[in-house]
C-alpha cells in the first residue's frame, strides 16, 4: 500500500472500486445514513477505549483505524457522487479556519 496517498487518489480509487465491485453508488441519502452508522461505530470504539465504558464481547475485535477508514470511505463516496473535490474543499477549509481562528485558541485561557 502507498502510505503517501492523496485525497485525489483516494477519490479515484474509491470510484474505481465502486465501478468494478460495487456496481454503483448507493443514493446520497443512503450513504448519509451509512456515514452516520459508521461514525457511531467509531464512537463506540473511542468511548470503550478512552472513556468509561467497557468493551462488550462483541466489540473486542473492533479496530480504531479500521473504523476511521470506514468513515473516510463513505465520506469519499459522498464527495464523489456529489462532485466535491476533497483536496480543494480541505485546502479552502484550512484557510477559513486559519483566518477565523488564528488567535482564538491561543487567547483561550481554558486551553492554557
For the domain covering 7-84, report its CATH number.
1.10.287.1080
Helix, strand, coil percentages for the chain (3-state, nearest 5):
70, 0, 30
Q: What confidence tens digit (pLDDT) does each residue in 14-24 have?
A: 999 999 999 99
The pLDDT score that the predictor gives to residue 101 is: 92
Q: What is the residue whose three cell numbers read 459522498?
A: 78
Question: CA-to-CA distance for 31 and 81, rounded, in angstroms?
Answer: 10
What integer is the mean pLDDT of 100-109? 92
**Among the listed residues 19, 31, 43, the one whose alpha carbon sits nearest the alpha carbon of residue 76:** 31
Q: What percent of the chain has pLDDT over 90?
A: 86
Residue 100 has pLDDT above 90, yes or no: yes
89's CB contacts (< 8 A; 6+ apart) are 79
Q: What confidence tens digit (pLDDT) does each residue in 57-90 have?
A: 888 889 999 999 999 999 999 999 999 999 999 9
Question: CA-to-CA distance for 76 and 45, rounded, in angstroms?
Answer: 21
Which three three-digit cell numbers place residue 45?
Answer: 470504539
The pLDDT score that the predictor gives to residue 1 is: 61
Which three three-digit cell numbers place residue 98?
Answer: 486559519
CA-based Rg of the chain, rounded to a whole angstrom?
18
Amino acid at each position: 500500500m502507498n502510505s503517501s496517498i492523496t485525497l485525489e487518489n483516494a477519490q479515484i480509487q474509491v470510484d474505481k472500486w465502486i465501478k468494478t465491485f460495487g456496481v454503483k453508488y448507493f443514493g446520497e441519502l443512503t450513504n448519509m445514513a451509512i456515514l452516520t452508522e459508521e461514525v457511531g461505530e467509531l464512537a463506540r470504539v473511542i468511548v470503550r477505549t478512552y472513556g468509561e465504558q467497557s468493551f462488550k464481547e462483541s466489540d473486542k475485535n473492533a479496530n480504531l483505524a479500521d473504523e476511521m477508514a470506514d468513515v473516510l470511505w463513505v465520506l469519499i463516496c459522498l464527495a464523489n457522487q456529489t462532485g466535491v473535490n476533497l483536496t480543494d474543499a480541505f485546502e479552502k477549509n484550512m484557510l477559513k479556519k486559519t483566518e477565523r481562528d488564528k488567535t482564538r485558541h491561543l487567547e483561550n485561557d481554558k486551553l492554557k
